[in-house]
Amino acid sequence: MRERNSDNHSSVLRLSLIPGLGHLVLGERRRGVHLLAFAMICVLILTSTWERFLEAFQGSAIDHWIASLFLVACLLSLSTFSVRDVRRLVTLGDERVQSKSPLRIALRRFQANRLAVWSLYVIGALYFIAILTPLLTPYDPSAIEDVLETRYLAPSTAHLFGTDEFGRDLFSRAMYGARVSLSIGLLAMLIAKLVGTTYGSIAAYFGGVVDNVLMRIVDVIIAFPTFFLMLMLVGVFEANLVVLVLILGLTSWPGTARFIRGEILSLKEQEFTESARAIGLPAHLIIVRHLIPSALSPVLVSAALAVAGMIGAEAGLSFLGLGIRPPTPSWGNMVSAGSDALLVAWWVAFFPGALLTITLIAFSLFADGIRDALDPKALMQRFV
């Protein structure tokens, strides 16, 4: 056993410095192909955008710099992961055990859901492209040339999505729009879930008067149609990117707060809590170590849905001209610009909206997949 390992060990490890090759040699086809494909894509992007990649290190905009660095980091971490994983496979050898931890079971169940896996790929690809945008865009998204010549050009190989009223390339703009929409969605979701979880567990922990007051506040906020609340806030505060993230996040937490509170109150009665109390764990540690983790898996599902909700809300606000303002592109305000030109140039409204739709569908299929994986009995989509 040991001799066989030491024979192959170093050569396989050296091979797996090129992501995926090691896995292929060991017969791990699936993972090997994935790793190799991902690495190939990175290399392809790197070589085809080589000049722009170098530009980043000669003092240009920060997002450009991040994009280049990200690409390098991707390649490096792919190699590292590949080597580590191969080492794990080799040292474990035939003694590899199929572990059955809850997480692993959930993971396997998720992988069996092909739609969910594909939607995860789509989401991953969207974020990947969003980060690399400065390297990938074929045109400057705000470059205006001879407007009379370039305005409202139909989709073609030169302009995949056509051009808008100022002759700007819609494909490039849509990529920059993806950055705005995707990052807003993620950040706003994080704010909402963090605030909601903290708030809900504080209410459940203190109970009594505090709980009562906190939950009455939640009742009031929930009574507002969320979109109306957002409308009011963008009316009051000048909406730039940061403010918009805050507005979206801080209007959407009460559902989570109410849910977490209910969950913690019911978990509090269960035996594992009692046993934790019996061994003398202080109450706040019981909450943080035992109760919140147990209540978190439904929150995970609603988090994926919430990202979609936030992206949708941002797009809605921007569509109404109240969110991200032009010239900064966001999918919402691009569709809005296209709605004025619907008769002459359908593509202006179509493509950004289609991307938005694909993103939202991917998130909801993904959320559906996690829900089924974590709890096959979980029934309805939650309105959290």
Partner 1 sequence: MGWYILKRLLQAIPLLLGIITVTFFIVRLAPGDPMDIYLEEDRGQIDPQAIELLRQKYGLDQPIHIQYVKWVANVARGDLGESFRYRRPVSQLLAEAIPYTLQLTILAVVLDALIGITLGIISAVKQYSVLDKIVTLGSLVIYAIPGFWLALMLVLVFSVNLGWFPTSQTRSMDYGFLSFSGKVLDRLWHLVLPVFVLGVASAASTARYMRNRLLEVLNEEYVLSARARGFRERVVILNHALRNALIPIITIYGMKLPFLLGGAAIIESIFAWPGMGRLAVEAVSGRDYPLLMATITMGAVMTVFGNLLADLTYVWVDPRVSYEGKKQR
* Site of interaction with partner 1 (CB under 8 A): 115, 216-217, 219-221, 223-229, 231-237, 308, 312, 315-316, 319-322, 335, 338-339, 342-343, 346, 349-350, 353-354, 356-357, 360-361, 363-365, 368, 379-381, 383
Is there a cis peptide before residue 327, judged by omega within 30 degrees of 0?
Answer: yes
Q: How far is the CB of 233 from partner 1 (least distance, A)?
A: 7
- Residue 243 or 300: the one with the smaller Cβ distance to partner 1 is 243
- Residue 13 or 250: the one with the smaller Cβ distance to partner 1 is 250
Q: How far is the CB of 88 from partner 1 (least distance, A)?
A: 37
Q: How far is the CB of 124 from partner 1 (least distance, A)?
A: 18
- Residue 156 or 339: the one with the smaller Cβ distance to partner 1 is 339
Q: 95 is written with which tokens? A: 């003694």
Q: Cα–Cα distance between 355 and 331 in angstroms, integer?
A: 8
Q: 349 is written with which tokens? A: 């409204």
- Residue 291 or 365: the one with the smaller Cβ distance to partner 1 is 365
Q: How far is the CB of 165 from partner 1 (least distance, A)?
A: 16
Q: 319 is written with which tokens? A: 């569509």
- Residue 128 or 350: the one with the smaller Cβ distance to partner 1 is 350
Instruction: State phi, psi for 169 to the nearest 5 degrees.
Output: -75, 120
Q: Using an 8 Å Cβ cutoff, are 244 and 324 in contact?
A: yes
Q: How far is the CB of 317 from partner 1 (least distance, A)?
A: 9
- Residue 131 or 356: the one with the smaller Cβ distance to partner 1 is 356
Q: Which residues contact 136 (CB under 8 A, 6 or more apart)?
A: 45, 49, 129, 175
Going by the DSSP 8-state scheme, the letter that residue 375 receives in this structure is -
Give 67-70's long-range contacts (Cβ < 8 A, gap of 24+).
Answer: 67/131, 67/132, 67/133, 67/134, 67/135, 68/135, 70/131, 70/132
- Residue 119 or 137: the one with the smaller Cβ distance to partner 1 is 119
- Residue 267 or 356: the one with the smaller Cβ distance to partner 1 is 356
Biggest alpha carbon–alpha carbon distance for the chain: 78
Q: How far is the CB of 155 from partner 1 (least distance, A)?
A: 15
Q: How far is the CB of 354 from partner 1 (least distance, A)?
A: 8
Query: How many DSSP H helices and E strands does the chain contain?
Result: 18, 0
* Rg, C-alpha atoms of the chain: 25
Q: How far is the CB of 173 from partner 1 (least distance, A)?
A: 16
Q: Cα–Cα distance between 128 and 123 in angstroms, integer?
A: 9
- Residue 53 or 363: the one with the smaller Cβ distance to partner 1 is 363
Q: Which residues contact 185 (CB under 8 A, 6 or more apart)?
A: 307, 308, 310, 311, 314
Q: Which residues contact 124 (CB under 8 A, 6 or more apart)?
A: none
Q: 175 is written with which tokens? A: 């990529």
Q: Cα–Cα distance between 285 and 176 in angstroms, integer?
A: 44
Q: How far is the CB of 95 from partner 1 (least distance, A)?
A: 39
- Residue 138 or 321: the one with the smaller Cβ distance to partner 1 is 321
Query: Count of CB atoms within 10 A of residue 244's CB?
Result: 27
Q: How far is the CB of 320 from partner 1 (least distance, A)?
A: 5
Could you give the angle at the alpha carbon of 27 between the alpha carbons of 42 and 25, nearest 5°? 65
